[in-house]
Amino acid sequence: MSNIEQTLSIIKPDAVERNLVEEIKNIFLKNNITIIESKKIHISKEEASEFYKVHQSKPFYDDLCNYLASGPIFVMILEGKGVVTLNRRLMGATDPKKAEKDTIRKLYGISIDKNSIHGSDSVENANKEINFFF
């Protein structure tokens, strides 16, 4: 039996730009996930660099931070039973080409960097990421 958890979801610039916010929100709602809070914001490169700090040693870090700051994003606090894991399953693999059928990244992702969505990968990181934005 899973516990009620919260996690952070970010609809990334490529998906906000293509007006996919409502379609993606509906995927969460259909899966018994509650959207507790949400807001559309445009963050700076500095804020993106702070958010993605865990990736600072990766070769794609700079591109990743520029990308997250490149346009409006839609951030949400999701709540539900085992929502951290459920959300990761609904998102699909990081690379849309490898993502499972009907996942958000399979349906909407353009490439490994423009992969439409972010989701926290653990309860601990979810708490940190929620506090970062809300």
Which residues form the catalytic set? Answer: 118
Q: Does 113 bind ligand IDP (CB under 6 A)?
A: yes
Subset of 79-98 contacting ligand IDP (CB under 6 A): 94
d(CA 105, CA 91): 6
What is residue 111's three-state secondary structure? Answer: coil
Binding mask 102-121 for Mg ion (x = CB under 5 A): -------------------x
Classify strands 117-119 and 73-81 as parallel, antiparallel or unpaired. unpaired
d(CA 95, CA 125): 21
d(CA 27, CA 6): 16
Subset of 36-65 contacting ligand IDP (CB under 6 A): 55, 60, 64
Q: Does 99 bind ligand IDP (CB under 6 A)?
A: no
For residue 69, the minimal CB distance to ligand IDP (Å) is 13
Rank residues 45 and 88 by Cβ distance to Mg ion and give the closer one: 88
Which of ligand IDP, Mg ion, none has residue 87 at its interface (CB below 5 to 8 Å by kind)? none
Q: Does 106 bind ligand IDP (CB under 6 A)?
A: no
Packing angle, helices 21-30 and 83-91, rounded to 10: 130
Q: Does 126 bind ligand IDP (CB under 6 A)?
A: no
Check: CB of residue 3 under 8 Å from CB of residue 81: yes
Strands (E), the chain: 4-11, 34-41, 73-81, 117-119
Residues forming the site for Mg ion (CB under 5 A): 121
Residues forming the site for ligand IDP (CB under 6 A): 55, 60, 64, 94, 112-113, 115, 118, 121
